[in-house]
Structure 1
Amino acid sequence: MSLKIAILASGSGTNAQVIFEAVRQKKLDAEICIVLSNRPDAKVLERAENFGLPHCAVDHTLFSSREEYDEKVVEIIKEHGADCVVLAGYMRMVTPFFLASFPERVINIHPAILPSFPGVHGARDAVRYGVKFSGCTVHFVSEEMDAGPIIIQAVTPCLQDDSEQTLQNRIHCLEHKVYVQALQWLAEDRLEIIGHTVHVKGIGKQQAKIVEVKSGDIGMNALIYPPLEIA
């Protein structure tokens, strides 16, 4: 069954564009019902326009509370027929009302290996801490920030001379691989939450997959689990 998704983003929308392209190329069995931003000048709206997708801005500064804002956003999402929400660089915490409106159907991607380094500066915090590995996590959204059940993670080494930007660039490359895969599993109804663990039906005892990640003149292997099934 085709996944009917709303994409929420606050900025450039590079992950959103990867999802646009995956749908167009039929790698992702989904229909993009609405692209919404809380910032009227967000570039993601321009990207949606270029793909001919429905899009709108709902300026959060015009609302008196997070609850009032989310009530309006949920109304718009449902009016457009979406039943799954994809957060792609959406820089707002969603309310319990929002999550209750789409139970176990709100997905986020975070630029760190959760539960380490939650919050808005995952790559920066990893570099400052001096970890040897970082990466990204796709997870279901819960009321606690960056704490929902994990669907898929990708891991890349942190180099000694990495800056926040160089590490973030490699993480972005991984994000573009794993987000579409997680959504395709959801479209295939293959994600099952047991306790706090997400099981992907049908993967058996497959090992983590090694993929090459290139960013600028840097190329290295990264590890992804559960393993990717789409390119």
Structure 2
Amino acid sequence: MRSGGSSPQCKVVVLISGSGSNLQALIDSIASGDSPAQISAVISNRADAYGLQRAQAAGIATLVLDHKQFEGREAFDAALAAAIDAYQPQLVVLAGFMRILSAGFVRHYQGRLLNIHPSLLPKYKGLHTHQRALDAGDREHGCSVHFVTEELDGGPLVVQAVVAIAADDSADTLAQRVHGAEHQIYPLAVRWFAEGRVQLHEQGATLDGQLLPASGQVLHYADS
């Protein structure tokens, strides 16, 4: 395991499928000197992903692997893993990567694969999380950063951001505030990993050597 302090930079590969707003938050955090992480490459399964332009503008290497050009999930994931491993990253970050990953891929990156999900896990795994929170009459919603395991949206939590639901919220207005919270906690989680503060053990995720609760570190996010 890596440790903080004088350790070399933590090389990161980011996987995207779309606009890359969380990628941009990571780029900005690293550029500001807040994190010892270094994004070595951004890989997308879609050539039209706007996040590729964000990466290129920041001088980061990009690669497109079109999943439709492969015979099945395992073949694509094998090619994806080979592309990632060419950069020898310590961490792989899923930032809106709209693919369900095979068990073999997940095992290959065990303990060094992070994802962000737009709900307070374990609530609302899967899609349409904002509308589901509204339909349930919830008073709070948010987002979660977690280690990826073979269970969809089910790995140990690192950090969650809680967002209050207003009486007049729509799925769109709620999503906008949750996105703002995502842009706060994803760079934070990546920084913690890069500093060696967050690790995955058999018992779960730890922060500074202490086992995190099932909810991870919980932060309350107030929209400005």
Same-fold status (TM-score > 0.5): yes
**Which of 26, 33, 45 is residue 40 of structure 2 equivalent to?**
33
Secondary structure of 1:35's counterpart equals strand
Whole-angstrom CA distance in 2 between matches of 1:128 and 1:162: 11
Secondary structure of 1:31's counterpart equals strand
What is the CA-CA distance between 1:202 and the residue it aligns to? 6.8
Secondary structure of 1:212's counterpart equals coil
Structure 2 residue 125 is matched with structure 1 residue 115 = no
What is the CA-CA distance between 1:3 and the residue it aligns to? 1.3
What is the CA-CA distance between 1:190 and the residue it aligns to? 1.4
The one of the two structures with greater contact order (alpha-carbon pairs below 8 A, sep at least 6) is 2
Aligned residue pairs, count: 213
Whole-angstrom CA distance in 2 between matches of 1:133 and 1:87: 24
**Which of 134, 141, 164 is residue 171 of structure 2 equivalent to?**
164
**Which of 180, 195, 212 is residue 222 of structure 2 equivalent to?**
212
- In structure 2, the gaps of 5 or more residues are 1-6, 212-216
The residue that corresponds to 1:228 in the other structure is none
What is the identity, as a one-letter code, of the residue corresponding to 1:191?
Answer: V
The residue that corresponds to 1:223 in the other structure is none
What is the CA-CA distance between 1:103 and the residue it aligns to? 1.7
Q: Is the 8 A contact 2:199 2:205 kept in 1?
A: yes
Q: Which moved more, 1:185-194 or 1:88-97?
A: 185-194
State the percentage of identical aligned residues.
Answer: 36
What is the identity, as a one-letter code, of the residue corresponding to 2:59?
Answer: G
Whole-angstrom CA distance in 2 between matches of 1:98 and 1:85: 11
Call closer, same or farther: CA 1:14–1:208 in 2, change over 3 Å.
Answer: closer
- In structure 1, the gaps of 5 or more residues are 215-231
Structure 2 residue 71 is matched with structure 1 residue 64 = yes
Alpha-carbon RMSD across the aligned residues, in angstroms, is: 2.0
Whole-angstrom CA distance in 2 between matches of 1:191 and 1:45: 28
What is the identity, as a one-letter code, of the residue corresponding to 1:34?
Answer: A
The residue that corresponds to 2:3 in the other structure is none
Call closer, same or farther: CA 1:179–1:99 in 2, change over 3 Å.
Answer: same
What is the CA-CA distance between 1:213 and the residue it aligns to? 1.6
The residue that corresponds to 1:124 in the other structure is 131
Moved over 4 A (4+): 207-211
Whole-angstrom CA distance in 2 between matches of 1:58 and 1:208: 35
Secondary structure of 1:182's counterpart equals helix
Q: Is the 8 A contact 2:110 2:149 kept in 1?
A: no
**Which of 173, 192, 198 is residue 191 of structure 1 equivalent to?**
198
The residue that corresponds to 1:218 in the other structure is none
